[in-house]
């Protein structure tokens, strides 16, 4: 393999990670407070709470699926590049054809 085929590096800073975690926490608490203070019956609150929980869990699942697809395509691309480099390294244009 060549020197330019490095594994993918994490480009997120600690500040970005903290901001994302804080935004998630604030939005989840805001959803919970909003559900608690709406003038609704208990079954309506339960429905909204279950829907909010489903949105949160499905968002995590979607993010994981997208990440896995991205990592998979990156690995396939690096494998194809390594195969091409091996073929080019093995190819000798000055070698006499031997029958």
Domain map (residue ranges) of the chain: 14-90
CA atoms within 13 A on the CB side of 19: 5
pLDDT band, very low/low/confident/very high, at 2 (cuts 50, 70, 90): very low
* Distance of alpha carbon 78 from alpha carbon 91, whole angstroms: 20
Q: Look at the block and give the residue holding tokens 């699942």.
A: 61
Answer whether residue 3 shows pLDDT above 50: no
Give mean pLDDT, residues 73-80. Answer: 76
pTM of the model: 0.59
């Amino acid at each position: 393999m060549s020197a330019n085929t490095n594994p993918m590096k994490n480009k997120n800073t600690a500040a970005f990670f903290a901001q994302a975690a804080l935004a998630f926490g604030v939005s989840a608490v805001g959803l919970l407070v909003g559900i608690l203070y709406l003038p609704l019956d208990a079954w309506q609150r339960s429905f909204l709470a279950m829907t909010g929980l489903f949105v949160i869990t499905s968002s995590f699942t979607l993010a994981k699926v997208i990440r896995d697809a991205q990592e998979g395509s990156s690995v396939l691309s690096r494998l194809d590049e390594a195969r091409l480099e091996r073929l080019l390294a093995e190819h000798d244009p000055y070698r006499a054809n031997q029958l």
